[in-house]
Structure 1
Amino acid sequence: MPIDIDRFEQGSSEDLRSGGRTNAEDILSFLAAHPEQAYTPKEIHEATDVARGSVGVVLSRLEDRDLVRHRGEYWAISDAEDIEKTLSAMATARAATDRLGSEDPEEWGSGIDESEEQE
């Protein structure tokens, strides 16, 4: 979903997250909600708003993890029993990152309160 240019230019990185969910979560959730159907990448794009160019890459990565399957142009959720566990783990990881921050050590800070350094 597009945002206005003022929000783009003035928003923080946190403000510019698109709902917080990853493309993989969006696609996996969509396919899991429709286990009796298979979809083309275009249909998945239209249903999830994941960028058309990203859908194929995400589907391939999900297939590598045995979470989705495909035949010809169609993709469907796999028969794997751990789809719900995977979605739950993704949501948990996202929540932890939102709460605790990035894995980038440069964003962590020193861990020392600046008032303690002045003593």
Structure 2
Amino acid sequence: MPIDIERFETDPEEALNARGRTNAAAVLSFLAASPDRAYTPKEIHEATGLPRGSVGVVLSRLEDRGLVRHRGEYWAVAADEAVEKTLSSMRAAQAATDRFGPEDPEEWGPGVEDDEET
């Protein structure tokens, strides 16, 4: 669904993310909802509404992390408990962002950067 250019230019990037979650979360959630099925990237694109070009990149990254697997043109969620842990972490991070807003390092106060180096 298109948005007007004013919103495009003024809304924070997080607010412009469709459905309020990352592409990785959308793909992983979709595949995890049907662990007994495998899908083509086109089917994942159609089901999630993500840009077609993004789906392949996301699937490759998720595969690198061991969260999805593929054979031929088909992709499925990995048969691993790491998937549920990852989804749980993504949900917790999204809930925190929804409640407290996006992370802003300028709000951390002075000296935070120095503490990280020691």
TM-score by length of 2: 0.77
Q: Which residue of 2 aligns with 1:44?
A: 44
The structure in which a higher percent of residues are helix is 2
Q: Which residue of 1 aligns with 2:27?
A: 27
What does 1:75-94 align with in structure 2 at a 5 Å threshold? 75-94=75-94
Q: Which residue of 2 aligns with 1:115?
A: none
Q: Which residue of 1 aligns with 2:109?
A: 110
Runs of 5+ unmatched residues, structure 1: 112-119
Q: Percent identity?
A: 69
Q: Which residue of 2 aligns with 1:117?
A: none
Write the deviation string for residues 8-65 of structure 1: whole angstroms up to 9, x where unpaired: 34x4215434221110110011101111111111111111011111111110111111
Matches of 1:48 and 1:83 in 2, distance apart? Answer: 18
Equivalent position amino acid for 2:25 in 1: E
Q: Which residue of 1 aligns with 2:96?
A: 96
TM-score by length of 1: 0.76
Matches of 1:41 and 1:30 in 2, distance apart? Answer: 12
Matches of 2:58 and 2:17 in 1, distance apart? Answer: 18
Deviation at residue 103 of structure 1 after TM alignment: 4.7
Q: Cα RMSD over matched residues?
A: 2.2
Secondary structure, in 3 states, of the residue corresponding to 2:18? coil
Equivalent position amino acid for 2:11 in 1: S
Larger Rg: 1
Matches of 1:6 and 1:12 in 2, distance apart? Answer: 8
Deviation at residue 73 of structure 1 after TM alignment: 0.9
Equivalent position amino acid for 1:84 in 2: E
Distance 1:99 1:54, change over 3 A: same
Matches of 1:102 and 1:6 in 2, distance apart? Answer: 20
